[in-house]
Amino acid sequence: MTLVAEDNPERVLDAALLPLHKAAFGIALGGAAALTVFLLTAAHLLIDPSPGLPLYLLSAYFNGYTVSWTGALVGAAWAWLAGFVLGWFFAFCRNFLLAVRLFFIRAKADFVQSRDFLDHI
């Protein structure tokens, strides 16, 4: 069962204009960021590539991060926090800008609809 019937364009538009859930988006982005940092560090530790990625640079952003198994957990925790904040803020800005845009679209439609109101009196 699909959420939106593709043959009904109004339902497709309604679904596209639904607001994002800020906490859910933050948790999802935080989880993806934490998993990425942990897997990159784990792969670097297990494979030990000769040039490798300069993962030590993450310690400039994530306090306590090192290229080690403990550092992988610390980096994952910091990445989850940073991803959550970025995801929450992105969803907030998207919802706010969408609401402002819809407000102006509705205001313009109301103005166009009632423009000739005084002509009928």
Quick check: is 66 in a domain?
A: yes
Distance from the Cα of residue 31 to its chain's centroid? 11
30 pLDDT tier (thresholds 50, 70, 90): very high
120 pLDDT tier (thresholds 50, 70, 90): low
Mean pLDDT in residue range 70-93: 97
pLDDT confidence of residue 25: 97
Quick check: is 4 in a domain?
A: no
Q: DSSP secondary structure string, the chain?
A: --SS-TT-HHHHHHHHTSPP-HHHHHHHHHHHHHHHHHHHHHHHHHH--SS---GGGGGGTSTT--SSHHHHHHHHHHHHHHHHHHHHHHHHHHHHHHHHHHHHHHHHHHHHHTTTGGGG-
Quick check: is 120 in a domain?
A: no
pLDDT tens digits for range 34-78: 999 999 999 999 998 778 788 889 999 999 999 999 999 999 999
Instruction: Report the number of distinct structural domains present in the chain.
Output: 1
pLDDT confidence of residue 78: 97
| 27: nearest Cα among 90, 73, 70 | 90
Mean pLDDT, the chain, whole residue set: 88
Supply the range of the domain harboring residue 33: 22-111
Quick check: is 9 in a domain?
A: no
Return the CA Rg of the chain: 24
Quick check: is 69 in a domain?
A: yes
Quick check: is 57 in a domain?
A: yes
